[in-house]
Amino acid sequence: MDIKKTNHDNSLIVGISGKIDTASAPKFEQELKNSINDCTELIFDFAEVEYISSAGLRVLLSAQKTMNRQGSMKLINVRKNVMGIFEVTGFTNILNIE
């Protein structure tokens, strides 16, 4: 998994590529912790995410809870397969997916 972060004022775009699994989720979580303190708009670009397990969902849920307190969060360019996982776990109800 690779993570590319782009800052603009208080907006942060996080582009992720590869698999968000048990092995990579801790890195994903740490990268977010280091960057979202002053963020009021968090955007995840999921165009290159091909896999997400519950370890990755845990990080997204935690980020959503943080951003509910300090601004907004959305996911863009989610692939069909990954969308299927969000649907089956009810994450389509708690995440803003465009």
Partner 1 sequence: MKKFEIEAITENLHAVLGFIDEQLELIGCPMNIQMQIDIAAEEIFVNIAGYAYKVGTGMAVVGVELHPEQPSVDITFIDHGVPYDPLAKADPDITLCAEDRQIGGLGIFMVKKSMDEVKYEYLDGCNILTMKKGW
98 binds partner 1 (CB under 8 A): no
27 binds partner 1 (CB under 8 A): no
79: alpha, beta or left, given left = phi > 0 and alpha = psi -120 to 50? beta
30 binds partner 1 (CB under 8 A): no
39 binds partner 1 (CB under 8 A): no
Given the rule CB under 8 A, which of 7-15, 27-35, 36-44, 90-98 is the region that contacts partner 1?
A: 90-98
- Which residues between 49 and 88 bind partner 1 (CB under 8 A)? 50-55, 57-58, 61, 64-65, 68, 80-81, 84-85, 88
| Count of beta carbons in the 10 Å neighbourhood of residue 64 | 17
91 Cβ contact partners less than 8 Å away, ≥ 6 residues apart: 57, 60, 61, 85
Give me the torsion for CA of 60, 79, 21, 41, rounded to 10°: -30
Kindly list the residues in this chain that would bind partner 1 in the complex (CB under 8 A). Answer: 21-23, 50-55, 57-58, 61, 64-65, 68, 80-81, 84-85, 88-90, 93-94
